[in-house]
Amino acid sequence: MTIGRRNGWGMEADRIRGLDGIRAFAILGVFYTHFVDENSLLGDLAVRTFFILSAFLITGKLVALRDAEGFTFAALRSFYARRALRLLPTYYAMVLALAAIGLVTIRDGLFYHLAFLSNVWFAMAMNWNPWVLAHTWTLSVEWQFYLIWPLVVLNCANRSVALAAAGAIAIALAFWLGCYVAGYYPDNVVLWSPFSLDAFGMGALTFFYSGVLARTLRTRLIAALLPAALWSALQLVETDGRPPFLVVVDFLLQILPLLPMAILIAITASGTSPILNRILGARPLAYLGRISYGCYLYHFPMLWLMMHIMWQVFDYPLKRGIIELVVVAIPTIAFSALSWKFMERPIQKWGADRQKAAQAKITA
């Protein structure tokens, strides 16, 4: 597929129900890791899936915006306005609510969290305090990506954008290599943005090379080999405790799933697999994926709330396991559905109406 050719589904990709199904499985992976088994890799895989999917969709929208309007401050403002209306109101509502009840204070890095620097705070603090916001490091990394990537896409031709995406992957690999050479690898090192650039770069490249990634024969071969290699790497974790070796294993666990996830997203967005589309596009999964941002945002505060309710009302200490998964995930999903219906969706509609009104004035 020629880089200069744009995907036919670029601007509509975020409306494909199958992609919402991928989001649904990702949020379920986060739930499983945080509520059932903290050693599970499903949570890490889910986060990186969100990164790939986000970069895929954002790149498509930015390319369409650039082709329609060129690089203008109006185009840049339009992009950031849409992102802000989609993500900021619920985020700030949650953080400020937690601050109001004393769960997050200035000493806990409140200003870092408000500035989308949670990853910096947790990396420097060398701990997960306040734990009710521990998950927000991923949102901070994503916003830091948003600060740079629109400038690249809106200013460059597709070939240059693809090269920049490949460069982002190379930067991430260089940081991993640096850790290996230096023998320095604390658990918090992956919180820094450069370590996630490979996922964002892969998402952007997926937009440009979807036609290649969605080919059936190549898909089957790659999708079969890489998970097997991932599983082999998992087996090695228990056999050696040397820090340099752990860097290699952790690197493999991070990098190997990227291509299979890119292939899955490309196939789903292209609609070339009716069976896959039926599975991922099933209404319950699609709906869960649609509200997955709220599910991710609220799941730790909901865990705190349910722990207190279970202890004070039922005298039951909530512990990791299936019971915690059920007790916390169900109200999280319910609250997220309410948040979507009464806050997120109305705000998005208001923003869309304002944009249409502004465009009508320009064309009048």
Give residues with Cβ within 8 angstroms of 41, minimum separation 6: 33, 234, 253
Question: How is the chain split into domains, by residue range?
Answer: 10-356
28 vs 358, more confident: 28
Quick one: DSSP state of residue 104?
Answer: S
Q: What is the pLDDT of residue 215?
A: 74
Question: Whole-prediction pTM value?
Answer: 0.89
Q: Strand, helix or coil at 2?
A: coil
Q: What is the pLDDT of residue 234?
A: 61
Name the pLDDT band for 214 (thresholds 50, 70, 90). Answer: confident
Q: Strand, helix or coil at 281?
A: coil
pLDDT tens digits, 163-176: 999 999 999 999 98
- CA–CA separation, 290 vs 106, rounded Å? 33
User: Which among 121, 150, 155, 125 is positioned nearest to 59, based on CA atoms?
Assistant: 150
> Is residue 349 over pLDDT 80?
yes
Q: What is the mean pLDDT of residues 94-121?
A: 96
Q: What is the mean pLDDT of residues 182-208?
A: 90
Q: What is the pLDDT of residue 50?
A: 96
- CA–CA separation, 230 vs 223, rounded Å? 11
- CA–CA separation, 341 vs 348, rounded Å? 11
User: Which among 232, 238, 229, 234 is positioned nearest to 250, based on CA atoms?
Assistant: 234
Q: What is the mean pLDDT of residues 40-60?
A: 93
Q: What is the pLDDT of residue 312?
A: 85
223 vs 133, more confident: 133
Name the pLDDT band for 218 (thresholds 50, 70, 90). Answer: low
User: String of b and e for 120-159 (b: at least 16 CB within 10 Å)?
Assistant: bbbbeeeeeebebbebbbbbbbbbbbbeebbebbbeeebe
Q: Are 248 and 181 in contact (CB under 8 A)?
A: no
Give residues with Cβ within 8 angstroms of 254, minimum separation 6: 44, 48, 176, 190, 195, 198
> Is residue 10 over pLDDT 50?
no
- CA–CA separation, 115 vs 134, rounded Å? 15
Name the pLDDT band for 354 (thresholds 50, 70, 90). Answer: confident
130 preceded by a cis bond (ω within 30 of 0): yes
pLDDT tens digits, 285-307: 999 999 999 999 999 999 999 99
Q: Are 125 and 109 in contact (CB under 8 A)?
A: yes
Q: What is the pLDDT of residue 76?
A: 87
Containing H/E element for 330? helix 322-339
Q: Are 4 and 269 in contact (CB under 8 A)?
A: no
> Is residue 1 over pLDDT 70?
no
User: What's CA 138's distance to the chain center, in Å?
Assistant: 7
Name the pLDDT band for 5 (thresholds 50, 70, 90). Answer: very low
User: String of b and e for 282-296 (b: at least 16 CB within 10 Å)?
Assistant: beebbbbbbbbbbbb
Measured in degrees and rounded to the nearest 5, phi and psi for residue 291 equal: -100, 15
